[in-house]
Structures are given as C-alpha cells and as structure tokens.
Amino acid sequence: MKTILHVVGARPNYMKIAPIMDALRDVGGLRQVLVNTGQHYDQAMAKGFIRELSLPKPDRDLDVGSASHAVQTGNVMIRFEQACLEERPDLIVVVGDVNSTMAATLVAAKLLIPVAHVEAGLRSFDRTMPEEVNRIVTDRLADILLTPSPDADENLRAEGIPDARIKLVGNVMIDTLLRYLPLATAERARQVGGLNGDRYAVVTLHRPSNVDRPETFAGILEAIGTIARGMPVVFSVHPRTQSRLREFNLLPATSGIIMTAPMGYIDFLSLTANAAVVLTDSGGIQEETTALGIRCLTLRTNTERPITVTHGTNRVVGTEASDILEAFDDSMSHPVPARRPDLWDGQASTRIAAILNHALS
C-alpha cells in the first residue's frame, strides 16, 4: 500500500486538491491522507469548502492559525514533520503558493520524501510578494513540477530545472470550476448579491499591498465608488479587508457599494460567472474569469499568471484610481475575447493522477 499525503492550508488549495483526490480515488493499492495545516484565518470558511466540494474530512488538522510569516511557517514545519513521521507517506502533494506549501516542502526535503507541486512555475518576478518567495523555494525543492501553462515551463527551464521534472498538465482549478458551473446560475447570483438586474461588477481585495496602505486602498475605493454610480458593484469583503476599512475609517467610501461577507465557492462562482466585469487582486480569480470569458481588471502592477492576459480576458491595471477607471471604460467598450488556454479543459486532475500513479509504481 502506497500513501500520498495531500496538504491544504488556505481556501484556494481546496479547489485544487479536490479533483486530484477524486481522480486518485479508484487507484488500487493507494491510501490518501489529507492534512489541513489550518493556516487560513477562518476555519468556518475552510470547513464550508470541505462540505461544498465533497472533500473528505481532513485526516489531520494542524491548527497553526494566523501569525507572522516566520512564525506561521515555523509552526507548520514543526507540526507537519510529526504528521509525516507518523503517516510515513511515499509522496507529498502541495498546491499553490501559500506559506503551508513552502513549509511542507521544506519538511519533506529534509525527510527525503518526494514532493509534487501542483501549479508550479508561476512567477510574478516580484520578490516583495511573499507568495513569490514561496513559489521559488517550493519549485527548487520539489521533485515533480506540475505546471498549468507553457510560460510556467519556460520559467522553470530558465531557472535551470531539468525537463524531466517538468510536466505540463493544465489548470486544475478549472476542473473544479467546470464541475460546479451548472449550479452557478444568474438567479443564484442575484440572490447572493442582493441584485435586481443582470449587469453588475464584482470586487475582491485582500493583498496587503492594497489593503494595508491607506492611500492605496482609498484610491482603489474611489475608483470602485465611481463605477458603482453607473452599475451595481458587489464587494465580497475579506475579513482582513474589513478590519482595514474600519481601522483607516474608509467605510464611508463604500457608500453605494453592495458589501457582502465572504461566500461559499458556488455562491461566489455564481456571481463571477454572470458578472459584466470583475475587479480583483486575486491570482485564482484571474484564472477563473479567463476560463469563464468574463472581463477582469487586476488591481496590481504585475501578475504571476500572464497567460490570463495573453490568452484570456485579464488586464493588469495597477492601483491608481485614474488608471483603473480608464481601463474599466476601455474594457467595457470592447467585446470580451473568447479564448481559453490549452489544457484548461477540466481534465488536468486526470493527467496529474496518471503522473503521480506512475511516480509511485
């Protein structure tokens, strides 16, 4: 009996792990162990994802909680090492670029346990982003690098990674999106967003570079407020973002914007799938809007997912109010490009399962 240990630590990880575990479920002689590090600040949200995506209950909850990057990474390493020593996995699967991804990979490397990294090779080339550091370290140490797009392959080769470790499999998040898309109806979007009509915008913000700087945050809200005068804007507010709104006394700037608490996966997918435009600083939402054919304005100065720009619906517009509004007006005056990148076909998890099964044979 071989053992694969899957690691999740934050909400987006669940959408990536769910289809992989499902694709491996019928493989004979294989035991799957799911470890939730508990990195995510809101366990109620994380547990809601487990129910919604039909994931099994984690076999282990490490309960590391929120902390500084160093403390959180250290706590994951200490607790994850014990889990590895007890479970004795033959292979560890990590996904994405959160602190748990890097911490688990470091532990596995020290214990000489092979690691497969799903969503490998993405680069923003901006090391002020903690996620960029996590991506670089994880890819340097992982044994199997499962990439979502050709640009990721090119990034890894440029860093000296041999081709034998690189496997282009496509975007596994799109597997989950396509599975649940039939439930993401316009009627459901109207209900969860408190909307009367069908034409609206969706906003999400959570990155420290946007919400922890009062001037930057105020400028973004100014642009969103202007957009809200022309169409309804639904702002799904991350708890970190909510605290900064209060701390910086920016709540008055949200007048006229429909503010909601964080939603479950299918409710939020309903909103994005039926929106006229999405404004976000989330990497995953850049990918989802590209797959859905929905306009996306990324409120950052760079992206680790350039294929969403070259082959999708995404525009990287920065954080200045004038730039956001100019890009919004231009985007709304042009048709949405209807292209989906190769291998974003809902079968990435099947390809990943075949590679992992072969690695264990």
- Give how far Cα 117 sits from Cα of 51, 90, 134, 354, 355, Å: 24, 15, 12, 15, 12
- Give the tokens for residue 356: 């992992």
Tokens at 46, concatenated: 């994380």
* Distant-in-sequence, close-in-space partners of 1: CB < 8 Å, separation ≥ 6: 29, 30, 31
Token digits of residue 298 = 């990324």
Helix or strand (DSSP H, E) at 251: none
299 near 309, Cβ under 8 Å? no
Edge-to-edge strands, sheet with 115-118? 60-61, 30-36, 2-8, 91-95, 115-118, 144-147, 166-168
Max intra-chain CA distance, the chain: 60
Candidates 6, 69, 206, 334; catalytic one? 206
Please name which of 261, 277, 285 lies closest in space to residue 224, comparing C-alpha atoms: 277
Backbone φ/ψ region at 96: left (φ over 0), alpha (ψ -120 to 50), beta: left
Q: How many CB atoms lie within 10 A of CB 173?
A: 25
Q: Are 237 and 261 in contact (CB under 8 A)?
A: yes
206 is catalytic: yes
Judge contact between 266 and 180, C-beta under 8 A.
Answer: yes
From 358, 361, 353, select the one nearest 93 (Cα to Cα): 353
> Residue 193 phi/psi, 5° resolution?
-95, 0
Q: Are strands 258-260 and 314-316 parallel, antiparallel or unpaired?
A: unpaired
Residues annotated as catalytic (active site), given as ranges: 206
